[in-house]
Structure 1
Amino acid sequence: MSDEKNRATAAALLPLVGGAANVTSVTHCMTRLRLGVADRSLVRDDALKALPAVLGVVEDDTYQIVLGPGTVARVTPEFAALVDAGRDAPPAPDDPPAAADRTGPTPSALSTAEELAAQGAALKARQKARNATPVKLFLRRIADIFVPLIPALIGCGIIAGLNGLLTNFGVLPALVPALAAIASGFMSLIAVFVGHNTAKEFGGTPVLGGAVAAIIVYAGVAQVSAFGQQLSPGQGGVLGALGAALLAVQVEKACRRYVPEALDVLVTPTVTVLVSGLVTLFGLMFLAGEVSTAIGTCANWLLAHGGAAAGFLIGGLFLPLVMLGLHQALIPIHTTLIEQQGYTVLLPVLAMAGAGQVGAALAVYVRLPGNRSIRTTVRSALPAGFLGVGEPLIYGVSLPLGRPFVTACVGGAFGGGFVGLFNQLGTTAGSTAIGPSGWALFPLLKGNQPLGATLAVYAVGLLVGYAAGFLATYFFGFGKQALADLNAATDPGAAGG
C-alpha cells in the first residue's frame, strides 16, 4: 500500500514539472526532491503546492520539492523510474488548466495565503540571484559533497545511540561490540567517501578522488613524518580528504590536456594518485589536521565560555545565514566535529532557529482569527515544522509577512541561548549526525552527561524557542494597520474561521 502511495505521488508530480522530457536530473536530500528542469516555464508551481504530499517548493540551482524526511527517499526512485520510462515519449499538450497554472490566478481570485506564497516565491528568486556569487556557489558545491552522506550519518548515529543505551543499562553485552563496529565503520572511512564525492562534483574521476583520500585513513601513514612530526591515521579527516580530492581533480585535468591519448589510461591515473598522494602526505594531512583541531577547539571554547551569549547569537543568526546561503559552510564543520568528538555541539543550538519559526507561526495563527487562508497554511505546515522542515513556514508565512521572520529569529536566539547556557554549565548537547532538526533530532542526541540530561536540555530549549518565538510575534509581529488589513483580507465566507 505504501509503495502504491509513493508511486501515485511520483505520478502526480511528473506532469506538473513538465513531464519526463523536461526533467534533466533527479536527486534528493533529507527532505527535498531536487530536479533539474530544461524549461522552467513548464513547471506548474500552484498545482504542485496544492498536492497533499508537497510541503512546499524551493527554487535554487535545482527545482526542489519539499516532501519531508522518509517520504522523499521513497518517492524519488519511483519518480526516477517514471522519468526513465517516459523520457522518449513526446510531452503531452497542456490543457487549459495547465496554462492557467503557469500564468497564475487573476488578482481578484487571489486569497491572502496565495499572495503570501507568491511574495515568498519572489523573495526566493531575488535571494537566489544574490546568492549566485562565486563564493556561495562554491559553498553550495561543497554542501553537495556532504548531502549524499547524511543518510549513513543518521543511520550510524542512531545505532551508536542505541549501543550507548545498551552499554549504560548493561543489556545484551554480547551485542555491544557488534553494534560499535556497525556504527563506527562508516565514520572510519568517511574520508574516502568525501574524496569520491569531491572528485565527482568538481569534474574528476570519482574513484581517483577516493583513492587519494584513502591515504589519509591508511594505517601505514604512521610511518611517515611531515613537518617534524609523525603522521597518524585519519589526521586531517574530511578536510584533508576534501583538499586531497580537489588537488587530484586539478592534476587529472592537467594530465588530460597534455598526455597523449594512447598513454592516457596508464599515465593519467598514475600521475594523479602519485602527485596528489605525495602532496597529501607531506603537506595537506598536517595542515588539515591543524585546521580540524582548531575547529573543534574553537567550537567547544565558544559554547563553554560564551555560554548563553554565544548560543543566543548563533541561534538568532541561523535563519539569516540560510537566506544568504552561508549556512552551507557549516556542513564540513559539523562533519569534522562528529569525526573528532562523536557529535557536533553546534547543531542543537542551530536547531533552535526552527523552534522560533514554529512559535512565530503559532502566534500568526492566533493573531489572525479572521484570515482563514493564512491559518490553513499554518495548520498544514506546522507538523513539518515540528519535525524540523522549516521551508513551508518560512516561505509561506513568516518571510512574506516580514516582521514574523524577525521575531522567529528572536525565538531561535532565546532557545539557542538556553542550550548554550547549559553547555557553559557543563551539560553539553550534541548531535551524532547532521540533517534532522526539531523533534527528529531526539534519537541522535549525545553529550558529556547521561542521556536523560542531554534530552532534557534539548527539549526545554525547544520549549523556550517555541515560547519566545510566540511571544515576540504575538506582541511585536504586526503593526496595528497590518493586523487589521490581514484580518480583513479573508476568503469569501471565511469570517469567523
Structure 2
Amino acid sequence: MDNRNLAKKILAAIGGKENVTKVQHCMTRLRFRLKNSSNANKEIVKKIDGVMGVTEAGGQYQVIIGNNVSNVYKELVDILGISPEQVVEEVEEKEKRSLFNRFITMFTGIIVPVLGVLAASGVLKGLLVIFTQLNILSNESGIYQLLHIGSDALFYFFPIILGFSAANQLKTNPYVVATIGAGLVYPDFIALYNEGVQLDFIGIPVLLANYTQSIFPIIVAAWLVSLLEKQFKKLVPEALKLMGVPFLLLVTAFPITVLAIGPVTIYLSQLLASGANGLYSLNPIVAGVLLSGIWQLIVMVGLHGAFIPIIFNNLATMGYDPINAMLTVSVFAVAGSVLGVALKAKKKSQIKPVANASALSAILGVTEPGVYGILVPLKKPFIMTVIAGSIGGLIVGIFESVQYNFAGMGIFSIPGFISPDGIHSGFIGFLIAITAAFLVALILTYLFGYKEDIELSKQSIKQSNEEKEVKQAVEKVVYNPINGKVIPISEVNDGVFSSETMGKGFAVVPNEGVVYAPFDGTVVNVFHTKHAIGLLSNTGVELIIHIGLNTVELNGEPFNILVKDGEQIKQGQKIGEFDIEGIKAKGYDVTTPVVITNSNTFSSISIVATEETKEKEISVRIQ
C-alpha cells in the first residue's frame, strides 16, 4: 500500500480529520491527540496493512508504523492541510487526564524535536574519546578541539535549545523563552556562581547555580511565560505589543526563574535522580534483570516515555545514567531474536526478507518493526527476547555499566557508554552484555522459538482475512439524500457540475421534495438562499447537495431547511424540504447535483446508485 492510502485509512479509522487536534511522529510512531478517543476503532487500525500496532499512553493515540513513519506523516499532514506539529483545533475532548499523563505528553513533545541532534552530539563525543584513547587524535589538535566544541555546544547551551522547543510545545513566544535560557548560561552569570558571589535582587537573596546542561528549570520557565504572556497581551495596547509584551516577560519571568524556579527544580531534579539511582543501587543486578527483561513490554504499552525524564535528568545532574544501559541491552535481544527467525525461515519464505530488514532496523536502534512484525505475531521468539534481555541486564548490573552521553539506541549508543576518562570495566561489561543478549536471543530463537514456516502460513491466512475486513471497515459510504431518478453528473445542464470542477458525484431528478442526511456528520453550511447544504461526514467526506439548477435566484422561497450550521446529523434524518412544482413553475430545473467536494483526497470514488433510488440506499462508495 502506498503511503498516502495508508495515511487515509488510518485517518478514517481514528474518526476522520475532524477528530484530530494534533499529530506528531517519533522514530516509529504516529502520535495523535484526539478530540474523542472513543471515535477511533483500535481493532480496525491494527488490521490496516502497514500498521504494526496501536497503543494509548500519555494522552496520545499512538499508531506504530516503523521505519516508514516519516513518509506516512508527510502524507498525513498534507491530507489534514496542516504544517508539521500544527494544532488543527484547540477544542479537545473533555476527558480526565492525569497530571502524570499530561507531563509525559508535554515532555515528549519537547524532547522529540531535539533527539536527532542530541544523539548525533552524543555519538560524536563518544567517538572523540575512542580516537584519543587509540592515539588517532591528540586532544590538543585543531581537529579534536573544533569537533569537541561542536559536540559539546548543545549540552552546554541546552537551556536555550530546550527553551525554544518547550515554547513551541506550550504555544508561547520561543524567542523570549530561548533568551531566558541564554540568561541561565550567560558567561557573567556562570562566573558569579564560580566565584561564590553573594547576590540579592530587591532584597531577595539569589541562589546562584550552574544551569548548563539543565533541563527542568527552562521547561518550567516556558510554562510560566505561557501563562504570563496571555495576561500581558490583555494589558498592553496593540501598538506596543511587539516590544511591550516581551519586555514585561523578561523583567518578570527571568528574575522569577533565577530566584525560585531554578533552585527548586534543581533540588527536585537531584531528588529524582537520587530516587531512581537509589533504587538501582539497592541491587543493580535485580534492577538489570527486571528492566532489561520487560523493557519491550513497556515499549509496547507506550509507557517508555516515562523513562525519558529520568534518563535525561540523570545525565544532566550526575553526568551519567545507569538506567539506559539496562534498556539498551533489550534492543540487542530483539535484534538477535528477529535474526534467528530470519536464519531459520526458508529461502522462499515471505517472512525472511521482513525479518532480515527488521533485524537490521533493531541493530540500528529501532525495534518496533521486529517486535510488532515478527516477535509478537509469532509469540515464542518474544519469550526468547525476554530471557535474553534479562541475561544481558544481569551482566550490566554486575559490571554497573552506565551511560555518559545520550547517543541514540542500538549500535549508535555504544560510544555513549565510554567514560570521558577513558575505557573502563563498565564499558567492557556493557559490550559483553549486548553481545550476550544478542547471541542468546539468536540461538534460543533458532533452536526453540521458530518452527520453520508453520506459524507463518497460519499468520498469512489470518492476515489475508483481516485485510479483507479492513478494506470493508474503512470504506466510506454516502446514502442517497433525495428520492428520485439518478443520472450521471456529466448529464447535468450546468458546466460547473457536469465538468466535475466541484468534484465527483451524481444527480437526482427528485420525485419527492424531501432531503435526507446521507451520512452521520455535521452541517457545515446552509446557504442563506436555502437552495444548497454543505455537509461533512464523520469519516471525512465533504459533500454539497444543490437543490435544482440556478435556484439561488429564487432567494429561498420554495425551500425549508430544517437544520442549521454546526448541527450534528444522523443518516436518514430529514434535513430539508422543497416545493418541486413551485420550482418548476418558476421555470427552473429541479435536477439536484450531489457532489463530493474533496474528491481529490480519496483513492477511489464509485457511484453505485440505482436508476430509481431511495434514501436508504447507498449511492457512493469511497476509499
Q: 1:157 aligns with which of 122, 136, 139?
A: 122
AA partner of residue 160 (structure 1) = K
Q: CA deviation at 1:360?
A: 4.0
Q: CA deviation at 1:448?
A: 6.7
Instruction: Find out whether 1:440 has 2:412 as its counterpart.
Output: yes
Cα 1:135–1:408, aligned 2, differ >3 Å: closer, same or farther?
same
AA partner of residue 273 (structure 1) = L
Q: Is the strand fraction higher in 1 or 2?
A: 2
AA partner of residue 122 (structure 2) = G
Cα 1:441–1:267, aligned 2, differ >3 Å: closer, same or farther?
same
User: Where does residue 413 of structure 1 map in the other structure?
Assistant: 390
User: Where does residue 174 of structure 1 map in the other structure?
Assistant: 141
Equivalent pair of 2:206/2:258 in contact (CA under 8 Å): no
Equivalent pair of 2:362/2:370 in contact (CA under 8 Å): yes
User: Where does residue 231 of structure 1 map in the other structure?
Assistant: 208
Q: Aligned partners of 1:332 and 1:145: how far apart in 2? A: 11
User: Where does residue 247 of structure 2 map in the other structure?
Assistant: 270
AA partner of residue 391 (structure 2) = F
Cα 1:228–1:329, aligned 2, differ >3 Å: closer, same or farther?
farther
Q: CA deviation at 1:294?
A: 3.3
Cα 1:15–1:483, aligned 2, differ >3 Å: closer, same or farther?
closer
AA partner of residue 109 (structure 2) = D
The structure that has the greater radius of gyration is 2
| Larger CA deviation: 308-317 vs 195-204 | 308-317
Q: CA deviation digits over 1:338-375, x for unaligned, max 9?
A: 33455433222111222333344456668887994555
Equivalent pair of 2:4/2:75 in contact (CA under 8 Å): no
| Larger CA deviation: 296-305 vs 388-397 | 296-305
User: Where does residue 456 of structure 1 map in the other structure?
Assistant: 428
Cα 1:37–1:282, aligned 2, differ >3 Å: closer, same or farther?
closer
Q: Aligned partners of 2:167 and 2:326: how far apart in 1? A: 32
Q: Is the helix fraction higher in 1 or 2?
A: 1
Q: CA deviation at 1:417?
A: 1.8
Q: Aligned partners of 2:380 and 2:205: how far apart in 1? A: 56
Q: 2:355 aligns with which of 373, 378, 383?
A: 378
Q: Aligned partners of 2:345 and 2:75: how far apart in 1? A: 41
Instruction: Find out whether 1:218 has 2:186 as its counterpart.
Output: yes
User: Where does residue 394 of structure 1 map in the other structure?
Assistant: 371
Q: Aligned partners of 2:403 and 2:30: how far apart in 1? A: 28
Unaligned runs of 5+ in 1: 1-8, 50-54, 89-129, 493-497
Cα 1:27–1:236, aligned 2, differ >3 Å: closer, same or farther?
closer
- Give the number of aligned pairs: 420
Equivalent pair of 2:34/2:61 in contact (CA under 8 Å): no
AA partner of residue 14 (structure 1) = R
| Larger CA deviation: 384-393 vs 315-324 | 315-324
Q: CA deviation at 1:302?
A: 4.7
Cα 1:162–1:469, aligned 2, differ >3 Å: closer, same or farther?
closer
Cα 1:402–1:30, aligned 2, differ >3 Å: closer, same or farther?
closer
User: Where does residue 141 of structure 1 map in the other structure?
Assistant: 106
Q: Secondary structure at the match of 1:204?
A: coil
Equivalent pair of 2:288/2:390 in contact (CA under 8 Å): yes
Percent identity between matched residues is 21
| Larger CA deviation: 250-259 vs 285-294 | 250-259
Q: 1:13 aligns with which of 3, 18, 23?
A: 3
AA partner of residue 357 (structure 1) = V
Q: CA deviation at 1:485?
A: 7.5
AA partner of residue 423 (structure 2) = L
User: Where does residue 489 of structure 1 map in the other structure?
Assistant: 458
Q: CA deviation at 1:48?
A: 6.1
Q: CA deviation at 1:475?
A: 8.8
User: Where does residue 251 of structure 1 map in the other structure?
Assistant: 228
Q: 1:311 aligns with which of 264, 282, 288?
A: 288
Q: CA deviation digits over 1:223-247, x for unaligned, max 9?
A: 5469967412317811111111111
Q: Secondary structure at the match of 2:210?
A: coil
Q: Aligned partners of 2:453 and 2:65: how far apart in 1? A: 33
Equivalent pair of 1:394/1:405 in contact (CA under 8 Å): yes
AA partner of residue 445 (structure 1) = F
Q: CA deviation at 1:301?
A: 4.8
Q: CA deviation at 1:257?
A: 4.6
Q: 1:207 aligns with which of 167, 171, 175?
A: 175
Cα 1:239–1:476, aligned 2, differ >3 Å: closer, same or farther?
farther
Q: Aligned partners of 2:375 and 2:428: how far apart in 1? A: 28
Cα 1:409–1:149, aligned 2, differ >3 Å: closer, same or farther?
same
| Larger CA deviation: 141-150 vs 250-259 | 250-259
Instruction: Find out whether 1:430 has 2:403 as its counterpart.
Output: yes
Q: CA deviation digits over 1:134-174, x for unaligned, max 9?
A: 63243122111011112221222222223323433443432
| Pairing 1:181-200 to 2, within 5 Å after superposition | 181-200=149-168
User: Where does residue 354 of structure 1 map in the other structure?
Assistant: 331
Q: Aligned partners of 1:165 and 1:367: how far apart in 2? A: 37
Equivalent pair of 1:248/1:276 in contact (CA under 8 Å): yes
Q: How does the TM-score come out when normalised to structure 2?
A: 0.56
Unaligned runs of 5+ in 2: 83-94, 462-623
Q: Aligned partners of 2:377 and 2:231: how far apart in 1? A: 48
| Larger CA deviation: 165-174 vs 270-279 | 165-174
Q: Secondary structure at the match of 1:237?
A: coil
Cα 1:229–1:265, aligned 2, differ >3 Å: closer, same or farther?
closer
Q: CA deviation at 1:315?
A: 1.6
Cα 1:414–1:131, aligned 2, differ >3 Å: closer, same or farther?
farther
AA partner of residue 489 (structure 1) = K
Q: Aligned partners of 2:318 and 2:180: how far apart in 1? A: 24
Cα 1:309–1:378, aligned 2, differ >3 Å: closer, same or farther?
same
Q: CA deviation at 1:216?
A: 2.1
Equivalent pair of 2:335/2:360 in contact (CA under 8 Å): no
- The structure, 1 or 2, with the larger RCO (C-alpha pairs under 8 Å, 6+ apart) is 1
Q: 2:437 aligns with which of 465, 476, 480?
A: 465
User: Where does residue 291 of structure 1 map in the other structure?
Assistant: 268
Q: Aligned partners of 1:318 and 1:438: how far apart in 2? A: 14
Cα 1:355–1:156, aligned 2, differ >3 Å: closer, same or farther?
closer
